[in-house]
Amino acid sequence: MRAVTVIPGVPESLRLRDVPKPSPGKGQALLKPIRVGICGTDKEIIEGKYGKAPEGSEYLILGHEAVASVAELGDGVDNVSVGDIVVPTVRRPFNCDLPVDFCPVGHYLEHGIWGLHGHAAEYSVTDARYLVKVPKDLLDVAVLTEPLSVVEKGIDMGLRIGQARFDWKPRTALVLGAGPVGLLATMVLRLMGISTVTTATRPPESLKAKLVLELGGKYVDSAVERVTGEFDIVVEATGSPQVAIEGLNHLAPNGVYVLLGVYPSGGSMSEVGGLMTSMVLNNKVIVGSVNAGIKHFEMALEHLRRAKEEFNNWPLKLITKRATLENYQEAYTWTHDDIKTVLEINPA
């Protein structure tokens, strides 16, 4: 079978290979991926900055954002059936008795990222316990479930922490960044009825700005205009340390700051002392989310359903580029105007 692969640690080793078709073992499911989403993590792996091949393999099959059909079942699987449409979660624990998305670094493997082959292939295999069924009417947007699950977890944890202190009812939100994660965060907040401002460095006539407006949010082009005011929730979705630090200035007393990125070293630290003092004196909270479990995958599917109904199939508009295995390299090139690229593997 064909699979999109890299050699971890070797920059620009992206290749389409013929590899052995996997077989499901006990408790596993053989999947026939329908489409796979591409994200910044894939870019870092391709650049040789991250990633680990499975034990005994020189290459890693990419693809951690996937929607697939169940092709075959190993012994002992009773939570899914052949023909079901599913999304697989990403992490698999070892030496960890916590929920898998709370296991510390070094105690999990990740499909398509760290130690487990991913789903950018004609077939893939995974532990069936970590599959989430997808209603057929969400098949067209279900590839967004994984990145949306990370958003769901971050906002859900933030709300729970805020409400644990007192009867906290957030009314305003600021989203920093209008890539796929920032736009999905805007979608979730608007579905919750929270007044939301989203900011990015794209002009008001850009598709990203228009998508914010379609949700009833306000868009600010941060290249020419500064955001003013304080917000009950601030969601950081750029992955920029400097933007993340500056965003703390906009967090209201008792507010919650949600970090949805992995941040490289760098950024000015000159104002951190004052910002931390403000955090302490005003009972502010910071939470982070980069992975999610089944609960937040299910929440993501419900919000995708609602967004399709309430915002005129809005989630589908996030998919701005499609490629196939025949022209797979196009899926792994990035421009400023792309939002979500998907690789069509076995169209349903």
Q: Which two tokens stand for residue 50?
A: 């991250």
Token pair of 342 as six digits:
């998907």
pLDDT attached to residue 196: 98
What's the burial of 299, exposed, middle or buried (CB within 10 Å: 0-12/13-18/19+)?
Answer: buried
**Burial status of residue 57 (CB atoms within 10 A of its CB: 0-12, 13-18, 19 or more):** middle
pLDDT of residue 42: 96
∠ CA 69-72-77, rounded to 5°: 100
> How far does the chain reach from its first CA to its final CA, in angstroms?
18
CATH 3.90.180.10 in the chain: give the residue spans.
2-141+318-344
Paired tokens of 90: 């990403």
In the chain, list all ranges with CATH 3.40.50.720: 148-288
Measured distance CA(161)–CA(305) in Å, rounded: 26
Per-residue pLDDT of the chain (348 residues; tens, 9 = 90+): 999 999 999 998 999 999 999 999 999 999 999 999 999 999 999 999 999 999 999 999 999 999 999 999 999 999 999 999 999 999 999 999 999 999 999 999 999 999 999 999 999 999 999 999 999 999 999 999 999 999 999 999 999 999 999 999 999 999 999 999 999 999 999 999 999 999 999 999 999 999 999 999 999 999 899 999 999 999 999 999 889 999 999 999 999 999 998 888 766 666 788 888 888 888 899 999 999 999 999 999 999 999 999 999 999 999 999 999 999 999 999 887 899 999 999 987
Q: How far apart are CA 184 and CA 148, in angstroms?
A: 6
Dihedral of alpha carbons 333, 259, 101, 295, sign: negative
Domain covering 148-288, topology? Rossmann fold (3.40.50)
pLDDT of the residue at 75: 97
Distance separating alpha carbons of residues 290 and 151, to the nearest angstrom: 8
CB-count exposure of residue 120 (10 Å: 0-12, 13-18, 19+)? buried
Q: What is the pLDDT of residue 315?
A: 98
Instruction: Give every CB contact of residue 184 below 8 A, 6+ residues apart in sequence.
Output: 144, 147, 148, 151, 318
CATH of 2-141+318-344, one of 3.90.180.10, 3.40.50.300, 2.40.30.10, 3.20.20.10: 3.90.180.10
Length of the chain: 348
pLDDT at 280: 87
Q: Is the separation of the CB atoms in 180 and 318 below 8 Å? A: yes
Report pLDDT for 267.
Answer: 61
The confidence score (pLDDT) of residue 269 equals 66
Residue 43 has a pLDDT of: 94
